[in-house]
Structure 1
């Protein structure tokens, strides 16, 4: 049997197991992903995951499963962001300070919150192929940003995926309601 030891595969298995252990076992058996998988194999695995979830679960369940599959939000970034927020008189100033100091994402003040705007896809599983993928895949970023902003705000905010590059958008945009 093929190895299923890739960190993304393990995270997905545990996340899906919280909803449906049998489905998690089935997907792991049918779509193993090893640590040594190249970018083409990772993309195929990600695409198979989206199809599997979309065929079996509701949008709400899919959102929960994918959000638990996020890359961890760094404590150092959260600490810097808390500092920027403490120095700011409002969300516009917070976004300006953040954008002056951080480079991989920009913040924009928006009605009722902030927009996280990514100029490119940073996902190790799908970024290297020009082929699009279902928006389902990108729902993991909600867990990432929710985790980061929970550390910054001291409470869990509501987040919404507005646009993704891999599903045809020009940028990846997540709204954080504050």
Structure 2
């Protein structure tokens, strides 16, 4: 089996586009090493960069979002515990989202922003330096925000990312709509 993040990308492409188109966009998939022989962080980043460029040139934005949102990271146990505590303590949705780090922008609109000195994504966090990757890669993080905050709020939310470190931004910023 190939490295998990690449299996998830291929599975998303295949489900949305069919196997032939998935192989056209991600021809390297069939020759990827299995989990027992790890690719270096740099090799993984370079491969992801190439796949995202092909997706950008071949697909509509909504297709990209659907593919990248299809396999997102779950909250950690610590995050789940923290959010449960906040949900128990907060009396309103506004109070809950503010406690979760959101800044209210208007009726049902919030800005989620956090600063780090580098990307927290599993692809990028182990690299000392890298060229910015396409925003297509960061749609996975946006999908994580949607999944996580929909769970926290108990309501469907939508999110658009403003900027991410991996795509060349200075922070993580997402516009949430509840």
The residue that corresponds to 2:5 in the other structure is 8
Query: Hey, what's the Cα distance between the residues in 2 that align with 1:33 and 1:155?
Result: 39
CA separation of 1:56 and 1:155: change in aligned 2, threshold 3 A: same
> 1:122 matched to which residue of 2?
120
Helix, strand or coil at the partner of 2:152: helix
CA deviation profile, 1:146-173 (whole Å, cap 9, x unmatched): 1112222223211111111122211011
Aligned counterpart, 1:49: 51
Verify the 8 A CA contact 2:69 2:143 in the aligned structure 1.
yes
The offset of 1:51, in angstroms, is 0.8
> Distance in 2 between the 1:117 and 1:155 partners?
20
TM-score, with structure 2 as normaliser: 0.80
Structure 1 unmatched runs, 5+: 99-106
What TM-score, normalized by structure 1, do the two folds share? 0.80
**Is the CA contact 1:74–1:148 (under 8 Å) kept in the aligned structure 2?**
no
1:68 maps to 70
Contact 1:66 1:136 (8 Å CA) reproduced: yes
Does the aligned pair in 1 maintain the 2:98–2:104 contact within 8 Å? no
Q: Which moved more, 1:21-30 or 1:156-165?
A: 21-30
Q: Secondary structure at the match of 1:175?
A: strand
Show the counterpart of 1:104.
none
Cα offset, 1:24, TM superposition: 1.6
Contact map agreement 2:113 2:173 (CA 8 A) in 1:
yes
Q: Describe the shift of the 1:85–1:175 C-alpha distance in structure 2 as closer, same or farther (beyond 3 A).
A: farther
User: Which segments of structure 1 move beyond 6 Å, counting only runs of 4 or more?
Assistant: none
32-41 vs 83-92, greater mean Cα deviation: 83-92
Corresponding residue for residue 156 of structure 1 = 156
Give the secondary structure class of the aligned counterpart of 1:159: strand
- Number of residues of Structure 1 aligned to a counterpart in Structure 2: 167
1:24 aligns with: 22
Deviations 1:3-46 (A, max 9, x none): x6100011111111121122223344335543301111111111
Q: What are the equivalent positions in structure 2 for 1:55-94 lying under 5 Å apart?
A: 55-74=57-76, 77-90=79-92, 93-94=95-96
Q: CA RMSD in A?
A: 2.3
